[in-house]
Amino acid sequence: MLRRVLLVSLLLALPVTAGEIEHVVVVSVDGLRPTYYLEPDRYGLKIPTLRRLLAEGAYARGMRSVFPTVTYPAHTSMVTGVSPARHGIFLNAAADPQMRFGLRWYVEDVQAKTLYQAAEEKGLRTALVYWPVTLGAQVDAVFPEFWRGDRDDHQLLKAISTPGLVEGVEQRFPDFQFHSPAEDEVLTDVAVHIIHSLRPHLLFLHIFQVDHQQHAFGLASPEALAAVEEADRQLGRLVAALEEAGLWERTALFVVSDHGFAPVENVLKPGVLLRRAGLLEVNDRGQVTEWRAAPVCGGATCEILLKDPSDAQTRREVLAIFSPLAEDPASGLSRLYGPEETAELSPDLGAFLILEAAPPFALSARVTGEFVEAYRGKATHGFDPERPDMLASFLVAGPAVKHRRLERVSLLDLAPTIAYLLELDMPEMEGRALRELFELTAAPP
């Protein structure tokens, strides 16, 4: 009798847990600044879902992104757990100065193992909704991030998505119609349909109206705040879908962003200086036709590519152009990464230098006009991830998530944490699993 009483007492003393996590949903709200969920009353924000996640789950006051703090490298680091130098996606734009319009759309360019590959290997159901660098991904359901900005974008996405996926979304949501730039509601429609029809173990969703409005109208502008509230509404739809599908009790929902934002007034165009020095040529439409050195840029970061990396004369000329600017506090450049640093940071063929702007300056790959011009917007990113205004967002909620506040996490911690929860084979990651945020009946090894 005494042993029975002791056993009961011991069981009552054990922590009450929610069981196992079998489903992980990751929503990237592109450009979401932590201050929006940390200080919603300051902005008058109506964000009931984010408030609920904050109250019930774990969150960080900031998440350190990767360098450069731009969308495609950050999102690829989220799913690989390694830095851009290792996974191969350094900027959004393709490393080809003569491409009229091309981003790094294709999953074949990713040089590291991804979470969704590891999940597929384990036999888990996986889905990708508008996640960058996923065109061609071999998963159960993919609606890849890709567009041309034409009226037939809906038909284009239907053709390159998993067969039957868009047709299923159209049946569930008769008003569904994809246009670029994609609306958060349209992309969430796809995710909601996948939750009900596929019941995925791993789902990644990328929405980006917050990013778009902050670029165009500035931080905490009425347009940006409205986009934050719209993102919150879509998060509410996802939680409701998980509950309706009976998945919520075994789900960990991560809400993250890829970078912060800083106000910008002017833009520097290093390609203008290269053109004036005779290192590149353009046609009457401002497109590069010939080049020995040319820029590829994203936000506040540009890399200078050499067509022939062994061309010593071009190397000297490029250094002669940009070294004095980096030493001038009034130039708008905050830092020049030399050839050795660039080789460590960028995996791109021919990458010779990396330039980083200093707010309120940004950088542009345009090669015509003046070197310094007014910025066509109000804010951007791409600056050093150590800057407080470049901090990204991190929240995680679900029945098995402890209520915790962290001061700082790393974007590289996301993939190890997901791999830990789903017991995925991802041995090469650089971050750490945030095991302390979860209370499981049988913790993974």
Q: Are strands 202-207 and 126-129 parallel, antiparallel or unpaired?
A: parallel
Integer CA distances (angstroms), 262 to 67, 71, 227, 388, 423, in order: 15, 15, 17, 10, 38
User: What residue type is assigned to position 88 of the chain?
Assistant: G
**Cβ(204)–Cβ(131) below 8 Å:** yes
Verify cis geometry, omega within 30 degrees of 0, for the bond prior to 360: yes
Residue 6: which pLDDT band, with cuts at 50, 70 and 90?
A: very low
Give the C-alpha separation, 184 to 232, whole Å. 10
Residue 376: which pLDDT band, with cuts at 50, 70 and 90?
A: very high
In the DSSP assignment, the letter for residue 66 is -
pLDDT for position 396? 98
Q: What's the maximum distance between 2 C-alpha atoms anywhere in the chain?
A: 93
- Which CATH number fits the domain 266-376, given the four candidates 1.10.3470, 2.60.40, 3.30.70, 3.30.1360? 3.30.1360
263: pLDDT strictly greater than 50: yes
Residue 303: which pLDDT band, with cuts at 50, 70 and 90?
A: very high
3: pLDDT strictly greater than 70: no
| Proportion of the chain above pLDDT 70, given as a percent | 95
Give the C-alpha separation, 358 to 236, whole Å. 37
**Cβ(411)–Cβ(74) below 8 Å:** yes
pLDDT for position 12? 32
Q: Are strands 394-397 and 58-60 parallel, antiparallel or unpaired?
A: antiparallel
Residue 440: which pLDDT band, with cuts at 50, 70 and 90?
A: confident
Give the C-alpha separation, 284 to 170, whole Å. 43
E-only strand ranges, 229-329: 251-256, 262-263, 266-268, 280-282, 288-291, 293-298, 301-306
Question: Is 19-262+387-437 a domain of CATH 3.40.120.10?
Answer: no
pLDDT for position 19? 52
Least confident of 150-154, 222-226, 356-360: 150-154
Domain ranges for the chain = 19-262+387-437, 266-376
2: pLDDT strictly greater than 60: no
Give the C-alpha separation, 169 to 11, whole Å. 46
pLDDT for position 15? 35
Integer CA distances (angstroms), 384 to 67, 69, 301, 428, in order: 6, 7, 9, 24
| Proportion of the chain above pLDDT 90, given as a percent | 92
pLDDT for position 443? 67
Task: Report the DSSP beta bridge partners of residue 333.
Answer: 357
Reference 307, options 60, 5, 98; nearest CA is 98
**Mean pLDDT computed over every residue of the chain:** 94
Q: What is the DSSP string of 4-52?
A: HHHHHHHHHHSPP------EEEEEEETT--HHHHHSHHHHT---HHHHH
> Which tens digit of pLDDT belongs to each residue from 91-130?
999 999 998 778 999 999 999 999 999 999 999 999 999 9
> Which tens digit of pLDDT belongs to each residue from 101-112?
789 999 999 999
How far is residue 38 CA from its own chain's centroid?
20
pLDDT for position 272? 98
The length of the chain in residues reads 445
Least confident of 53-57, 96-100, 105-109, 280-284: 96-100
| Structural tokens at position 333 | 């450049």
pLDDT for position 415? 98
> Which tens digit of pLDDT belongs to each residue from 177-200?
999 999 999 999 999 999 999 999
Q: Is 131 exposed, middle or buried (0-12, 13-18, 19+ CB in 10 A)?
A: buried
> Which tens digit of pLDDT belongs to each residue from 312-328?
999 999 999 999 999 99
Q: Which residues contact 82 (CB under 8 A, 6 or more apart)?
A: 112, 412, 428, 429, 430
What count of Cα atoms within 13 Å lies in the side-chain half-sphere of residue 111? Answer: 12
| Structural tokens at position 182 | 């994609």
| Structural tokens at position 325 | 């600017």
Q: Average the pLDDT over 58-63 and give the result.
A: 98
pLDDT for position 101? 79
14: pLDDT strictly greater than 70: no
Integer CA distances (angstroms), 352 to 220, 306, 319, 332, in order: 37, 6, 10, 20
20: pLDDT strictly greater than 90: no
